[in-house]
């Protein structure tokens, strides 16, 4: 397609030079063409003919649709280009005859009836549009590849007490597979043995790992951050959640744009109408006594003027200008459809994680217990969490490093899956985890600390409590906070008359807090990836929806919305 485009452009520029260069701009012509209108016409005939041959696919599809009584936009393009070319060819033969008969004035008049450049320009500009469309489809293919790359290539199965590694495609329903800390889950399954903290952020948008125990479901392509899981495969191959998401993206990408469907419906009426008018024109001219050649020329003129010049010229120019303005403002439109639909948008849907928020938890609050300094609490907490892969642990360690707090070495580090961690700092045992976890330990939890933890949880934060040698040290809370400019941007959209909705897979409590801080009009929480596309379709029934997201979990919603921004 790229070669076709460049070939068309080269021959079109040459054609425009010979057809308009001398007459309109005074460009010099080669000596053998200067003053020889027939030779100049033959050169235009040859150049435009080459462009027609290069873009023959338009004629094949267009006239095939006409033959099967289902004309489309290619039919309009083919008819317009063919009519321009045929009419110009007829005028060239008439001009040749006029020159031979010494009718120089009539020959010069006929020279202005050439439309060879119109045929070439129509086909070239449409090819530009097709090339841009192909590039956009290529980006969609890359997005699908990134989805597919989420899934692990192999799985560890437990057969007859032995662990074997097999390709993920070989996993069958009912097989028992093993997932250790740091490994990706190969297929959808149910936990049979063990506990783990599974990171589902790539699929659901949930910022924190989800605790999994016996009887819980696990999803393909999610990551087991800690613990050991032994699961039974229940959905494999094309039935996994990830495969369904990929299928949803494929289906949405293959759906025809509304404007294209409208154009095809118009073509069904427009093309036959143009042909009928052209035929009627020929008949009327014949009835009025005009020669057959004149009547035929008038009929072809009808086809020429009916050619979709606006489609071929005005639309690409508008797209190029719109793309240029968007690029200056940091917005890149992949397709003309996206540019058109953006101007008609009347609703904005925002993903939470990574769009409204930063996408990673950060420390928000530190409450040391009575008699404990903030530095002592932070040092003990960071030393304990240093060996953990949990996002909250990483947030605490990062904050300690920012505060230049020394991290001390620990021994006998153990992860208590889904609850907390424990280790030894010197000769003293240290422990950290959720309120429920610490209340199960032989530790006195002051009522003040319990109340603080409950209040922070209501604010959508995640409190982590710490103790040393059986004594409560205090708590540190972390949360995925909103970006500095999120509230301002949302307020600006609302001032434009656009309602803003937050759509997320995160839990209702956290989502409500973030939604209130950001100032959105509505919050839709706990929506799974495969459900996001359906939610967008429901909202689309009320108007044109802009969906803004940045995660793989947003792919069905991004492709299903009138405009997807990532």
Q: The domain spanning residue 201 has which CATH number?
A: 2.70.150.10
> Last residue of a domain, which of 435, 464, 479?
479
DSSP state for residue 407 in the 8-state scheme: P
Say yes or no: 474 and 491 in one domain: no
Q: What is the DSSP string of 47-101?
A: HHHHHHHHTHHHHHHHHHHHHTT---HHHHHHHHHHHHHHHHHHHHHHHHHHHHT
Q: Could you say which of 239, 271, 290 is where a domain stops?
A: 239
Active-site residue list? 351
Q: Are residues 271 and 140 in the same domain?
A: yes
Residue 333 lies in a domain: no
Q: Does residue 265 share a domain with residue 140?
A: yes
Residue 21: inside a domain, yes or no? yes
Query: What tens digit of pLDDT does each residue of 409-435 get?
Result: 999 998 886 578 999 998 899 999 988
Average pLDDT, rounded, for the chain? 83
Tell me, yes or no, whether 327 lies in a domain: no
Label residue 313 by pLDDT band (50, 70, 90). Answer: very low
CB-side neighbour CA atoms (13 Å) of 214: 3
Cα radius of gyration rounded to whole Å, the chain:
34
489 & 442 share domain: no
Residue 319, both tokens: 């797209």
Is 394 within a domain? yes
Residue where a domain terminates, one of 479, 495, 513: 479
429 lies in some domain: yes
Asked whether residue 423 falls in the same domain as residue 529, the answer is no
Q: Are residues 377 and 463 in the same domain?
A: yes
Number of domains in the chain: 4
Query: Per this entry, what is the length of the chain?
Result: 566
- Domain limits at 82? 2-146+254-320
Q: Which residue did the predictor score with more confidence, 322 or 253?
A: 322
Residue 326 lies in a domain: no
Same domain, 8 and 117: yes
Same domain, 451 and 502: no
Q: What residues contact residue 169 under an 8 Å CB cut-off, 6+ apart?
A: 237
Domain check: are 140 and 7 in the same one?
yes
Task: Judge if 470 and 520 occupy the same domain.
Answer: no
For residue 424, give both structure tokens: 């030894």
Residues 139 and 17 in one domain: yes
**Most confident segment among 25-34, 76-85, 287-296, 449-458:** 449-458
Specify whether the CB–CB gap between 461 and 479 falls below 8 A: yes
Is the same domain home to 168 and 194?
A: yes
Tens digit of pLDDT for each residue in 88-107? 898 899 889 988 888 888 88
This prediction's pTM: 0.51
Q: Quick one: pLDDT band at residue 249, thresholds 50, 70, 90?
A: low
Kindly state whether residue 334 falls inside one of the protein's structural domains: no
CB 232, CB 190: distance < 8 Å: yes
Across 196-209, average pLDDT: 76
Q: How far apart are CA 275 and CA 264, in angstroms?
A: 17
């Amino acid at each position: 397609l790229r070669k076709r485009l460049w070939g068309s452009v080269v021959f079109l520029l040459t054609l425009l030079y010979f057809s308009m260069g001398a007459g309109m701009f005074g460009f010099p012509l080669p000596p053998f063409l200067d003053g020889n209108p027939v030779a100049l016409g033959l050169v235009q005939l040859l150049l435009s003919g080459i462009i027609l041959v290069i873009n023959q696919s338009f004629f094949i599809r267009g006239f095939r649709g006409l033959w099967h009584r289902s004309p489309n936009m290619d039919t309009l393009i083919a008819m317009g280009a063919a009519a321009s070319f045929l009419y110009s060819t007829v005028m060239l033969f008439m001009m040749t005859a006029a020159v031979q008969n010494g009718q120089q004035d009539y020959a010069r008049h006929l020279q202005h009836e050439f439309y060879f450049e119109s045929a070439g320009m129509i086909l070239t500009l449409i090819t530009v549009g097709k090339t841009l469309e192909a590039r956009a489809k290529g980006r969609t293919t890359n997005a699908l590849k990134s989805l597919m790359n989420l899934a692990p290539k192999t799985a560890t199965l437990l057969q007859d007490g032995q662990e074997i590694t097999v390709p993920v495609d070989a996993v069958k329903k009912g097989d028992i597979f093993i997932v250790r800390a740091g490994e990706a889950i190969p297929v959808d399954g149910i936990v049979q043995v063990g506990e783990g903290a599974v990171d589902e952020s790539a699929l659901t948008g949930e910022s924190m790992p989800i605790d999994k125990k016996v009887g819980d479901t696990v999803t393909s392509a999610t990551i087991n951050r800690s613990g050991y899981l032994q699961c039974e495969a229940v959905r494999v191959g094309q039935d996994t959640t990830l495969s369904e998401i990929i299928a949803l993206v494929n289906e949405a990408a293959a759906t025809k744009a509304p404007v294209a469907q409208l154009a095809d419906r118009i073509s069904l009426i427009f093309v036959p109408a143009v042909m009928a008018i052209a035929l009627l024109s020929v008949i009327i001219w014949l009835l009025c006594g005009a020669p057959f050649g004149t009547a035929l020329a008038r009929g072809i003129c009808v086809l020429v003027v009916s050619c979709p010049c606006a489609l071929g010229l005005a639309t690409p120019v508008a797209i190029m200008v719109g793309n240029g303005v968007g690029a200056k403002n940091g917005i890149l439109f992949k397709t003309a459809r996206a540019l058109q639909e953006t101007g008609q948008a009347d609703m904005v849907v925002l993903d939470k994680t990574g769009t409204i928020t930063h996408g990673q938890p950060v420390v928000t609050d530190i409450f040391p217990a009575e008699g404990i300094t903030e530095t002592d609490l932070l040092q003990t907490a960071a030393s304990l969490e240093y060996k953990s892969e949990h996002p909250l642990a990483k947030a605490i360690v990062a904050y300690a490093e920012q505060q230049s707090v020394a991290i001390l070495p620990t021994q006998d580090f153990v992860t208590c899956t889904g609850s907390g961690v424990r280790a030894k700092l010197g000769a003293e045992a240290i422990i950290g985890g959720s309120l429920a976890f610490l209340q199960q330990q032989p530790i006195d939890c002051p009522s003040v600390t319990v109340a603080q933890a409950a209040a922070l949880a209501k604010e959508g934060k995640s409190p982590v409590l710490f103790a040393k040698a059986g004594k409560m040290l205090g708590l540190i809370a972390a949360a995925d906070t909103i970006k500095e400019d999120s509230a301002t941007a949302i307020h600006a959209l609302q001032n434009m008359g656009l309602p803003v909705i937050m759509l997320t897979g995160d839990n209702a409590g956290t989502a409500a807090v973030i939604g209130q801080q950001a100032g959105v009009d509505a919050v839709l929480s706990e929506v799974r990836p495969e459900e996001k596309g359906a939610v967008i379709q429901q909202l689309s029934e009320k108007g044109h929806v802009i969906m803004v997201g940045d995660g793989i979990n947003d792919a069905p919603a991004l492709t299903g919305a009138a405009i997807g921004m990532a």
